[in-house]
Structure formats: C-alpha cells, structure tokens
Amino acid sequence: MDDQAAVNFLKENNARHYWHPMADPKASETDPPLILTKGDGFQVWDVDGKPYLDLMGGLWNVNVGHNRTEVKDAIIAQMDQLSYHNTFAGLANAPSIELSVKLTDMMAPEGMDKVMFGSGGSDANETAFKLARQYWKLMDQAEKVKVFSLKNGYHGMQFGALSASGGIVWRRAYEPLMPGFFQIDNPDPYRNPWTDDGQELGRICAGILDREIQHQGPGTVAAFIAEPIQGAGGMIIPPDNFWPLVREVCDKHDVLLIADEVVTGFGRSGALFGSRGWGVKPDIMCLAKGINSGYVPLGATAFNARVAAAWERDHPLATIMHGYTYAGHPLACAAAVANLDIVISENLTANAGLVGAHFLGRLEELKDRHQVIGDVRGKGLMLAIEFVKDRTTKEPFAPNDPFIKALGPACLERGALVRVQGHRMVLSPPLIFTNEAVDEAFEALDGAIAAVAPN
C-alpha cells in the first residue's frame, strides 16, 4: 500500500467494525472522526498531516506532552527487563514498588500511606468503593455500605463508577444502576437555584450532604466521593469553603472522604492535587490520567493511615479479594516514575497555574466579544466556556443546535482540537502549554465562534 492508499484504508474502515466510546455508531459513518497519527509536545497531527493545538491534552491526561523521550526511554528500558508479570499475592515488580514509594512521598501532606494499582480512573474509583465497604466490615460496622456523590459528578463508566456518576445523560441507557449509591446537589456557582454568593452556596450544598447523611442514617453510609473540580460535568469549580465543610460533615458522621483526583491529580488545577488546593486531606485519593500522561494505561488508589490501619486487624475478611491482571503493570509504572520526575523537575504545577491564569484572561476577552458566551471559568489548566442563547435567562444551547455542532469543526479548521460537551467547551491542554500557545488558541477560538455563532 502506498501512503495515500494507507490513509484511504483508515478513513474507509473506521466505521466498518469499530464502535467508539461516547458516540452514536451511525454518526461515526456520516461524521467520521479525526484520525490522529502523530503527537509532539502540545501538538498533534491528523492522517493528512494537518497540525492542531491539543486543547484536550489527549483526554486531560497528556500532562507532560506527547512524544517525551524520558518517558519513552523508561518504557523501552523496562520492556528490555520485564514487559509484564502479575502482582497478585506473592509477586511484585520493581517499577510498581518504586512508584508506590514515589506516590506516597508526593501525597505525604495528605497522609496517604498505601496504594493499589489498576488500569485507569474507573478502576481507581471501583477500588475505592470496594475497599471503603471492606474497611467498615473490618471495623465491625458492616451496615456502612452506601456511597454518596454529587449530581453532575463523573467517576467513570464501570457499574460502580457509573452508579456514583451524577449525569443523567451517562446513566439513562444503562439503568438500573447499583443500589446504595445516592447523589446530592452539587455547588455550581453559575447555575443554582439559591444564591450568587459563593460562600453561601458552599454552606448550602455541604448542608444538604449533612442532612442527607443524617436522614439516611450515618450508620449506613460508607463514603462520600467527589472531584475537587467537576471536570467532565463542565469544569464546575466549587466555592472555596465547600471542600473544607464537606470534610467536617464527613468527620461528624464518620464517613470516609474520597477525592476523585483522576483529572486534578498531578498539577492540572495549579495545585499538585486538587484536594491540596482546597486545603483538605481526604481518606482515599483516586488517581489516573496525569499519573503517567497516558503513555500506558494506569490508575491508582491511595489510602491514608486511618484506613490502612483496619487491615492490621485480625479479621476473617482482611484479604483484599480485589485486583486486576494489569494492576502494577511494569511498563505503566515505569512510565509513571519518569513522568512524575518531569512534573516535579519542570514544575508543571506552577506552569499550569501561570498559563491557566493567562488563558482565563483571554477567555474573558472572548466573552466580551461574543454574546453567545454566558460564562467562562478556569482553575489552572482546567477551563470552560459555557454557551447560552440569552445571557439573562442563561438558556443553554441544545447539544444538537447547529451552532454547537459546527463549533468543533470550525475550531479544527483553525488548528485547534477542542472538546465540545453539550453547550460547553472544555479546555485542558498539556501542562507544558505556554502563553504564546494560549494566544494562538485564542485566535482559533475567536475565529471559530465568529464564523458559526448565530447573528
């Protein structure tokens, strides 16, 4: 096959045997996906050789950028030694041990003491839920089994993770979901029925959690899980007081606090961990994505000393009857060690804060220029633009509105790869992003919105 024939083969065969996540298979035929063939730094190239700024950062995970020699070398070096073996009882490998030390060092301020590995974010959360239930059984409080979470939260797509996820659009086709999972109102400063005052909103939503736990009975609730910043739900940034108040509510009712740091972990929000940004120490932290920038699938769940202590008890249920074939995968862990070295040595957390502030400033300019923008927000390199038909009523555009459907392609045309989710555009470039790249992104977004917005 010559080069053009190979390109045509890919384009013609994409929809023939292949169903994509989060897509209607019919749409993959009529509206074929962008086929990417190359990445370097914060750029990617499609099969026709056109370059794009990667404003998705892969899927908010390629934090150190594409094609990093240090990460590739670490994977190859590990492949030369041992590509795979399992880590079930009785076996271990060097990079997973090294990574467990590195992670607990990085999360020492949060008091994390033990880690378990999986292959991604959903795995990390499943592990958290199962071990939270096991924890209470080991503590002889076997009725504490329920998991509370926030409406609009995203925790992944496996049954447990989906049961905790609060977006109706993700849940409807797969219901009924797992019993014992309940969602309460999330603090959304832009869209809530109560108040424009952030502190008040934080108190109201923490109060709802408090009352719901009280109502159902603290003796039945194992854990509360939330993202420090709701990512897939539209970059919803809670008020400063929300997480500290949630920690108080959890302590009051003896409920474990799980931070889903799958997106916010390792610098994206401008703090090394999202919880640290809010000044809160969770009991369990769920990690994936930026842990190794997506070079090989990996997730991890970390437990503090309080939780870990339950496994020191002599109990018939103390064995961890949970784990995955790819837990502690040597290539994934070797990639993570190299990746985290870059995050620290290049101070990408600080860069996310600085470049993110510049990006937010430019989004404010976009809002001044386009009436269809109702809100822009961001913390570090987690940013969003919310599109509305009317700024006063905040009526959102429907996901199938011609404007919304045209936005992604119009950005691509101008060299920007973005994620449009319903009436929002979320932006999460690699943490190596620069102010100059932000300015380039601004031109692409400004041109795209001007070209396709109504009026």
Ligand X SMILES: Cc1ncc(COP(=O)(O)O)c(C=O)c1O
Q: Which residues of this protein are in contact with ligand X, per CB under 6 A?
A: 120-122, 125, 154-156, 227, 231-232, 260, 262-263, 288
| Shortest spacing between CB 374 and ligand X, in angstroms | 23
Nearer to ligand X, 133 or 155 (CB): 155
- In angstroms, what is the minimal distance from the CB of 16 to ligand X? 25
**Residue 124: CB minimum distance to ligand X, A:** 7
Determine the Cα–Cα distance for residues 15 and 174; give it in Å rounded to an integer: 23
| DSSP-assigned letter for residue 173 | G
User: Least distance in Å: CB of 261 to ligand X?
Assistant: 8
Q: Using the minimum distance from each CB to ligand X, give the nearer residue, 154 or 181.
A: 154
Nearer to ligand X, 231 or 378 (CB): 231
Sign of CA dihedral 9, 15, 19, 22: positive
DSSP one-letter code for 87: -
Kind of pairing between the strands at 146-150 and 221-226: parallel
Helix H or strand E segment including 53 = strand 51-54
d(CA 102, CA 94): 12
Shortest distance, CB of residue 260 to ligand X, whole angstroms? 5
| Closest to 94 measured CA to CA, from 108, 107, 80 | 80
**Least Å from the CB of residue 421 to ligand X:** 11
For ligand X, the closer of residues 382 and 445 by Cβ is 382
93 C-beta neighbours (distance < 10 Å), count: 20
- Match 């070096």 to its residue by tokens: 77
Cβ proximity to ligand X, 121 vs 202, nearer residue: 121
Pairing assessment for the beta strands 424-427 and 146-150 based on DSSP bridges: unpaired
Residue with smaller CB distance to ligand X, 120 or 396? 120
Q: Which residue's Cβ lies closest to ligand X?
A: 121
**Helix, strand and coil percent figures for the chain, each rounded to 5:** 45, 20, 40
CB of residue 233 to ligand X, shortest distance in Å: 9
Q: 303 vs 278, 288, 311, CA distance in Å?
A: 19, 15, 11
The backbone torsions φ and ψ at residue 54, rounded to the nearest 5 degrees and listed phi first, read -85, 85
| Closer Cβ to ligand X, 96 or 421, answer by number | 421
Q: Of the two residues 154 and 442, which places its CB atom closer to ligand X in the complex?
A: 154
Cβ 227 to ligand X, closest distance in Å?
5
Q: Given the DSSP bridges, would you call strands 36-40 and 43-46 parallel, antiparallel or unpaired? A: antiparallel
Q: Which is nearer to ligand X, 226 or 310 (CB)?
A: 226
Q: How far apart are CA 333 and CA 118, in angstroms?
A: 10
**CA dist 251 to 216, 239, 248, 282, Å?**
16, 20, 5, 11
- To the nearest whole angstrom, how small is the minimum distance from the Cβ of residue 137 to ligand X? 25
Phi, psi of 287 (to 5 degrees): -130, 150
| Structure tokens that stand for 234 in this block | 């539209």
